[in-house]
Amino acid sequence: MLIKPREADSSIHIDFVPMVDVLFCLVVFFLLATTIKQAEREMQIALPRAASGSPISAMLREIVVNVDAEGQIIVGGRRMASEDLRTIVKEAAAANPEQKVTVRGDRATAYANVVTVLDICKGSGIQEPYLDTVIEN
């Protein structure tokens, strides 16, 4: 008696199109999220170097205050006066007592400009304003 072997089931078909669509959506999402996150960090600020630099915590929404080489205060891509900064920081500290503020001073700016921003932060209720630096290579 002759027994015919079963033919391998060749009807199994894996459709890669939905998987590629999902991967494409993920790539686009992460590219956009990274681009938006980096917008604040890409200002023309030359940060000083420090041996113990550390990444900024993203747990709470932080306020990033940039001080350019001329001593201008920039928040969210907008130049502003010291009093405007004081108002923003005071409102944020009132809404969240653990509000984080990062001060990014250009290495070519006078230290007094950075101290002015730090003084505004401390006077507005921020417990620990952070100074941002880059790690030495």
Look at residue 86 and tell me whether its pLDDT is greater than 70.
yes
User: Of 18-32, 52-66, 81-95, where does mean pLDDT reach its minimum?
Assistant: 52-66
The sign one gets for the Cα dihedral 76, 82, 84, 90 is: positive
Strand duo 78-80 + 73-75: pairing = antiparallel
* Coil/strand/helix, residue 119: helix
- The CA-atom distances, in angstroms, between 8 and each of 16, 22, 51 are 22, 31, 63
Task: Give percent of the chain with pLDDT exceeding 90.
Answer: 44
Is 93 in contact with 134 (CB distance < 8 Å)? no
Average pLDDT, the chain: 82
- The CA-atom distances, in angstroms, between 86 and each of 2, 27, 79, 100 are 92, 39, 13, 14
The per-residue pLDDT for 77 is 87
Domain boundaries, the chain: 44-135
Task: Classify domain 44-135 at the CATH topology level.
Answer: Nucleotidyltransferase; domain 5 (3.30.420)
Structure tokens at 42: 């890409």
Could you give the CA distance from residue 133 to residue 137 in angstroms, rounded to a whole number? 12
Look at residue 43 and tell me whether its pLDDT is greater than 70.
no
The whole-number average pLDDT for the span 52-63 is: 60
pLDDT band for position 85 (50/70/90)?
A: very high
Look at residue 89 and tell me whether its pLDDT is greater than 90.
yes
Look at residue 19 and tell me whether its pLDDT is greater than 70.
yes
Look at residue 66 and tell me whether its pLDDT is greater than 70.
yes
Could you give the CA distance from residue 72 to residue 30 in angstroms, rounded to a whole number? 32
Give the pTM.
Answer: 0.57
